Amino acid sequence: MKFSGCYRWSRLILIILSFALGAVSVWATDDVIALKAHRLFDGRSKSLVPNGVVIVQGNKIIDVGSNLGIPGDARVIDLGDATLAPGFMDAHTHLTLDYSSDYNVRRLNELDLNVSEQAIIATTHARSTVEAGFTTVRDLGSRFVGSREFVDVALRNSINKGVVVGPRMLVATKGIGATGGHFDPTSGFRDFLFGREPDYTDGIVDSPDDARKAVRFEVKNGADVIKAAVSGGVLSLVDEVDTPQLTPAEMAALVDESHRLRKKVAVHCHGDEAAREAIEAGVDSIEHGSFMKPETLTRMKNKGVFLTPTLMASEWIMHKLENYPPALQAKAKAATLARSDMFRNAVKIGVKISFGTDAAVFPHGQNAREFKLMVDLGMQPIEALRSATANNAELLGIAQKTGTLEKGKLADIIAMPGDPSADITATEQVFFVMKEGKIIRNGPPSVHVGAEETGPAKTAAPVD
C-alpha cells in the first residue's frame, strides 16, 4: 500500500512536471523534428522559398529546403500559412535595465532598487525578448551606479546553463566613456554624492592608457564585446548630443586593445565628427549615428563598418516626449530629425546595416517593431530581415554557428504568420521559437509583453 501510494504520488508529480515543462520549453533530445511552413527565409537569400522544411536533430539543423522529403521517424510540426526564419538577433539591447515610462522614476529606481532585485527583474526581460523571436542579443552596457556587480555576465551565464530562459547573449559589461560624458554614471548628480569620481573600473577613462586598462578589466570580468561612447547622447543630462567625447588617441588605444583580445568594438555615437574619428580608429559598428553625413557614411561603407540605427529608441522617446526633462526633449528632437535622413542615405549608399533597437528605452519584447521603421525609411523588407539574421551574425562574429538556416548550424528557428516580405509587421507576430533545438514557444507567449505600454500607434506617421 505504502509503495503504491508513493508510486501514485510520484506519477502525479511527473505528470505535473511534464505539464509545467510543456508550458515552458521542451528540452532538446536527439529525436528528429521536421518543421514545415508555407514559406521559408534562410537568412541570406534575396527571396523566400515556398513549402519550407527544416529538419532538426538535437541542437542542430540537419537539412533545410523547399519541398524536402521528411524522414519517417521525424516528429512533424506543421506551422501552416507561416514563414520559417532564422532566430532574429538584436545587436543593441540592455536586458539588465528596466524600462520605466518616466525618466525620473527610472533614474530613482536605478538608485533605489537592490542590484539583486534588478537582476531578478532582468530575467523577465530575457524571457520576453526570446519569446518575441530574438534568439541572440548583443547586450551593449549594464551599469548600476555604486555597484561592482556584472549583472549582464551573470544573466548570460545563467541562460547558457539553462537556469533562465532567454536569448544567447554577447555582453559588453560597462560602457567605456569620458569623465562627464554619456556613460559617466555620476553626471547630473551633486558633486561627490557617490563618494568618489568614477574610474576605469566604472568604465570611465581619460587617457589612452586608461582606455586600455578599462578594456582589459572588462574582458577579465567576462565581456564578449567592448562598448564605448565617443559622442554625447540623448538620455544623458549634462552633455551635448553630438560633441566628441573620446580623443582619437583614446579611441585608437581602446580599439587596438580590444582587437588584440579578439573582441569587437561597438560605439555609441550621434555626432559626425566623432563618427569620422571612430571609423578611422577601426571600430566595428556605430550605434545610432544620427548626425552622420553622406561622406562619413561612404567612408563607413568602404571600411566595412556596420551601422546599428536603433530607430525604435528615438521613435519611442518622440512619442513620450513629455516624460523627459526639457534638455533631453531638445536633444531627442534634433537627433530624431537628423537620423531619418541619415538612415535613408545609409541605405542608398549601401552601408552594412545591423538590426538593433536599444531595448530598455522601450519595454523589452517589442524589438521587432524596428523592422517597420526601417522599411518606412526606404529599406527593402528582405534587407531588413537580413540585417537581423545574416548581417548580425557577421557583426557579432558568430556566423559560423548561427544566423542562417543551413545544414550544420544551430537550430535557432522562428515562425511568423503570413509573408514578412509582403507585410513586414508579420515580424511582430512571431508565434514559434526554437533555440538550439529546444522549443521555447509554440503559440501564445507565457507573459503578456508590454501589456500596458504599447507606445506609438502602429499606424502613426513616421516621426521625421
**Interface residue list for Zn ion (CB under 5 A):** 358
Which residue number, 41 or 150, has a Cβ lying nearer to Zn ion?
A: 150
What is d(CA 365, CA 452) in angstroms, rounded to the nearest whole number?
Answer: 13
Which residue number, 41 or 183, has a Cβ lying nearer to Zn ion?
A: 183
Shortest distance (Å) from residue 360 CB to Zn ion? 7
CA angle 235, 309, 384 (to 5 degrees): 145
Which residue number, 63 or 358, has a Cβ lying nearer to Zn ion?
A: 358
Which residue number, 239 or 412, has a Cβ lying nearer to Zn ion?
A: 239
DSSP string, 70-127: --TTPEEEE--SEEEEEPEEEEEE-TTSPP-SSHHHHHHHHHHS-HHHHHHHHHHHHH
Shortest distance (Å) from residue 261 CB to Zn ion? 22
Which residue number, 32 or 178, has a Cβ lying nearer to Zn ion?
A: 178
Shortest distance (Å) from residue 231 CB to Zn ion? 13
Which residue number, 271 or 417, has a Cβ lying nearer to Zn ion?
A: 271
According to DSSP, the β-strands at 82-86 and 32-40 are: parallel
Phi-psi map region of 128: left, alpha, beta (phi>0 left; psi -120 to 50 alpha): alpha
Shortest distance (Å) from residue 235 CB to Zn ion? 9
What is d(CA 452, CA 441) in angstroms, rounded to the nearest whole number?
Answer: 22
- Residue of minimal CB distance from Zn ion? 358
What is d(CA 251, CA 256) in angstroms, rounded to the nearest whole number?
Answer: 8
The candidate with the shortest Cα–Cα distance to 308, out of 244, 338, 369, 351, is 351
Shortest distance (Å) from residue 426 CB to Zn ion? 26
Shortest distance (Å) from residue 182 CB to Zn ion? 10
Q: Which residues contact 143 (CB under 8 A, 6 or more apart)?
A: 174, 175, 183, 185, 202, 203
